Amino acid sequence: MDNAMQFFFSCASAVFSAVIAYFGWWFKKRDGERQASEEIRHREYEAICSGLRAMLRDRIIQLYEECVEKGNTPFYAVQNVTNMYQAYHDLGGNGAITEIYHKFMHMPQKPKEG
């Protein structure tokens, strides 16, 4: 009986070790896939933020140039540009737009019609 029990425990130990090794491999593979997926999401997020910053920057410059041509700022545009400027900086925009923003804020405002 001793030999039979030793054989049984040896087989059980080998099976148990194989199962543990399989789960270790599976978790490692799954973690690698998750990490790759997170890296893709991070790159996409950065691209979206970068694109949105560029669009906000472009729109602030565009509004500024339109108002310079007119010589004044429409009432509604002041709040819009302030919101865009804040979002631009919240998204990591640098100070390149700050000078334009301050010039925009010091332009004469066209009174609200009506």
Interval 59-109: pLDDT, tens: 999 999 999 999 999 888 999 999 999 999 999 888 889 999 999 999 998
Instruction: For residue 6, name the pLDDT band (cuts at 50, 70, 90).
Output: confident
Q: How far apart are CA 33 and CA 78, in angstroms?
A: 47
Residue 60 near residue 101 (C-beta atoms within 8 A): yes
The candidate with the shortest Cα–Cα distance to 49, out of 17, 9, 89, is 89
Strand partners, 109: 73
Which tokens in the block code for residue 110? 């066209």
